[in-house]
Amino acid sequence: MTELSNPQPVAPPRNQWLDVWDQFKTHRGALWGGIIFVIIIAGVYLGPLIWRVDPQFLPQGRDFINLRDMRPIWVGLFDSSAKVSWAHPLGTDNLGRDTLARLMMGGRVSIAVGLTAMLLALFLGTLVGVVAGYVRKMDGPLMRLTDLFLALPLLPLILVASLLFREPLSASFGPEGGVFILIVVLIGITSWMPTARIVRGDVLALKEREFVLAAQSIGTSGSKLIMRHVLPNVLSPIMVSATLGIASAIITESALSFLGFGFPPDFPTWGRLLNDGVDRVVSFPERSILPGIMISLTVLSVNYLGDGLRDALDPRIRGR
C-alpha cells in the first residue's frame, strides 16, 4: 500500500469574498453604479447635516415674494435677469421652499421605501420559493398562490388598500409613518412573486445535486441543509431580484405620489416633487427634471450594481 499523500495546504485559503470583490471590480458599470448609489445615499442621509435648511420652511411676508420661484444657480450663466442666489443653489419652488433640501428629504423617503419594500419582498419571495422548491407537498399550493398574486393588478390594489387601511394606520403611527408602513407593505407583498419563482426553480435543480445528496446521507437536517447548502447557492438570483426590487419599489412609490395617493401633499418624495413641477415645466423645467434625474440615476445605478453582483456572486462565472 502506498502511503496516502495528503499534502497540507501551505497558505491559508483565500477569503471567498475577496474573489467576489475581484470579479466585481472587473465590471465597470457595476463599479460606477455602486459608487453613484453610495454617493446618492450619502447625499440624502448625510447631506442635511451640512445643508441645514428646513425643507418644509415657508418664508413669511415680504420674504415670501422675494424668495419664491428662484432658479438654480447655473441659470444665471446664460440668463442674467434670472432670480438666483447662492443661498438656494438649486432654486426654490413657488412657495419659497428650498429645492436642494426638498430633494434630500424626498430622496430619504424614496430610498427608505425602496430598501424596506425590497427587503420585505425578498424575505417573502425567498421563503415561498425555498419552501415550494424543497417541500414537494407545498409546491403546488404555493405556486398557485404565486400565480394568484401575479394576476393581481398592482396599482388598483394599492389604491383600494390605501383607502381601507390609511386611517387606522395613520391613527396609530402618525400620518407619515402610517403611509410609510402602508406603502412599504403593499409594495412588498405585491412584488415577491418573481423572486419566489426564480428561487423555486433553482432550489428544484439544486435538490438533485450530489452535494445535497451527500449532505442528506450524513444526516443533515432539512433546515440546516437549506441554510448551509441551498441558500448560498441561490444567493445570486436573489441578489438580482433585490436590486430590481429597489428600483421598481421607488418607481411604484413615485407613481403613487404622482397619483396623489401616497404621502401627504406637503411631504416631499421624488415622485411628488416631479409631479408638483409638471404645471410649470415650461418656465421652471428644473423642478421636474432634477427629481426625475435622481430617480433615474438611482434606478440605473442599482440595476448595474445588481448586474455586477450577480456575476461576482456566481462561482461558475467568477474567474472567467
Partner 1 sequence: MKTKTLLLGAIATAAMAPAAFAERGSDGNVSIIYWQAPSILNPFLSGGTKDVESASMIIEPLARYNENGELVPWLVEEIPTTDNGGVSADLTSITWKITPGILWSDGTEFTSADVKFTADYCMDPEGGCAQLTKFDGVTSIDTPDDYTVTVNFEGPTPFPYGPFVGGESPILQAAQFADCMGAKAPECTEQNFYPIGTGPFTVTDFRPNDVIQMAANENYRDPAKPAFATVTFKGGGDATAAGRAVMETGEFDYAWNLQLAPDVIAQMEAGGKGTPVAGFGPLVERIMLNNTNPDPALGPDDRAVVRPHPFLGDPAVYKAMSMAIDRPLLVEIGYGKAGKVSCNWIPAPAAYNSTSLSCDTQDIVGANAMLDAAGIVDTDGDGIREKDGVPLKILYQTSTNAVRQDFQALIKQWWSEIGIETELRNINASVFFGGDPASPDTFQKFYADVEMYANTFNGTDPQSYLGNMLCDKAPSPASQWQGENISRFCMEEYDALYAQLTQTAGIEARSEIGKKLNDMAVMNGAMIPLVHRGRLSAHANSLGGVVLNVWDSELWNVADWYRME
- The whole-angstrom separation of Cα 227 and Cα 320 is 27
- The whole-angstrom separation of Cα 133 and Cα 122 is 16
Stretch of residues binding partner 1 (CB under 8 A), selected from 42-50, 131-139, 212-220, 260-268: 260-268
- Binding-residue pattern over the window 125 to 164 for partner 1, x denoting contact by CB under 8 A: --------------------------------------x-
* Start-to-end Cα distance in the chain: 40
Please tell me the count of residues contacting partner 1 according to CB under 8 A: 23
The answer to whether the beta carbons of residues 121 and 191 sit under 8 Å apart is yes
SS3 157: helix
Q: How many CA atoms lie within 13 A of 48 on its CB side?
A: 17
- Does residue 83 touch partner 1 according to CB under 8 A? no
Which of 147/279 has CB closer to partner 1? 279
- The whole-angstrom separation of Cα 170 and Cα 181 is 9
- The whole-angstrom separation of Cα 79 and Cα 83 is 9
The answer to whether the beta carbons of residues 56 and 97 sit under 8 Å apart is yes
- Does residue 63 touch partner 1 according to CB under 8 A? no
C-alpha grid cell for residue 119? 427587503
Reported residue count of the chain is 320
Sign of the C-alpha dihedral computed for residues 276, 280, 286 and 289 taken in this order: positive
- Does residue 175 touch partner 1 according to CB under 8 A? yes
Among 31, 82, 95, 293, binds partner 1 (CB under 8 A): 95
- Does residue 266 touch partner 1 according to CB under 8 A? yes
Stretch of residues binding partner 1 (CB under 8 A), selected from 18-26, 57-65, 102-110, 212-220: 57-65
- Does residue 264 touch partner 1 according to CB under 8 A? yes
- Binding-residue pattern over the window 198 to 237 for partner 1, x denoting contact by CB under 8 A: ----------------------------------------
- Does residue 282 touch partner 1 according to CB under 8 A? yes
- Does residue 94 touch partner 1 according to CB under 8 A? yes
Interface residues with partner 1 (CB under 8 A)?
Answer: 58, 60, 64, 94-95, 163, 167-168, 170-171, 175, 259-261, 264-266, 276, 278-280, 282-283
